[in-house]
Amino acid sequence: MKFEPNDKPNRATDTMAINIEKLSDAAGAAISGLDLTQELSQEDSDALKQAWRDHMVLLLRGQELTEEEQERFCRTFGEIAGLKSKTSESKFLFVTNKEDPDRATAVQLGEMMYHYDQAYAEHPCKASTLYLIEIPDVGGNTCFANCCAVYDQLSDEWKARLKGKTALNYFNYDTNPSLRPDDIDPEAPQHSHPVIRTHPETGRKSIYVNRLMTIRINEVSKEESDEILHYLFDLIESPQNVYEHVWQVHDLVLWDNRCTAHARQHYDPEKRRLLRRMTILDENPVV
């Protein structure tokens, strides 16, 4: 069939322009064939959302994006979560190792242990996006752990042991994020959530504890809690459950914060690492 210049391309052709390529056996897919400086069609949005449900972490590489374009991408997945910043009205948080008085910054040095963003809050965000602006030559990778796979790998005995249990999640911004805290500051944010979490869209169960923020299992002794948590932390962080992302400038990464824990690896603190983060509200409670 001859294609006339005034013909509109058909939708099947448009949708086929999206390429989805798995990044690891654990999680993650690279999406190509989209230009995020342009508004997405409904078909492309639907394909993105399905890819996100399937792979939990999406990478869109080589996207040179303004703040408005990153926000428009985020709105594909839900409402934007605000910030509690005293210094900025912006909904963006700049994750960096160098203070910047003109931006709302989370100044963090080096390694950060596995965690879910805002797990210490009653309503943690549904999703996070990070847009890479500057990265040292070596280090600073982000690791993503598929915590649905972790649940699936548990024996029936372990699943029964964890059923109905809750865990206290806590975070003190003043402490070193590469160490588990020894003491709890009662003033620091903290909240208990179920250890087994069910994804409201896929129905999959996942393990919702993490080494950085989960202090204890509430219903058992400290000794048993420590035993359970360290078993789960090790399984979450084992290589078969992790996709390790090596950043490039203009990478945009979106992850499902309900079922994917993430960690930052060590890098040279003298070299600037700068990412622009926007998070998406969860319209559902943690269940």
Residues at the contact surface with Fe ion, assessed by CB under 5 A: 117
Between residues 144 and 154, which has the closer beta carbon with respect to Fe ion? Answer: 144
| Pairing verdict, β 274-280 and 127-134 | antiparallel
**Smallest gap from residue 257 Cβ to Fe ion (A):** 8
Count helices and strands (H / E) in the chain. 6, 17
Between residues 117 and 237, which has the closer beta carbon with respect to Fe ion? Answer: 117
Q: Looking up tokens 């979560």, which residue turns up?
A: 81
**Smallest gap from residue 115 Cβ to Fe ion (A):** 6
List the beta strands (DSSP E) in the chain.
Answer: 19-22, 29-32, 57-60, 93-96, 105-107, 112-115, 127-134, 142-146, 166-170, 190-194, 196-198, 205-207, 214-217, 242-245, 252-256, 260-264, 274-280
Q: What are phi and psi of 46, to 5 degrees?
A: -65, -40
**Smallest gap from residue 30 Cβ to Fe ion (A):** 21
Between residues 26 and 34, which has the closer beta carbon with respect to Fe ion? Answer: 26
**Smallest gap from residue 244 Cβ to Fe ion (A):** 15
Between residues 143 and 215, which has the closer beta carbon with respect to Fe ion? Answer: 143
Between residues 191 and 225, which has the closer beta carbon with respect to Fe ion? Answer: 191
Number of Cβ within a 10 Å radius of residue 258: 25
Q: Which residue is nearest to Fe ion (CB)?
A: 117
Radius of gyration of the chain (CA): 20
**Smallest gap from residue 112 Cβ to Fe ion (A):** 7
Which residues, 6 or more positions from 22, have their beta carbon under 8 angstroms from its beta carbon?
28, 29, 55
Between residues 77 and 255, which has the closer beta carbon with respect to Fe ion? Answer: 255
**Smallest gap from residue 117 Cβ to Fe ion (A):** 5
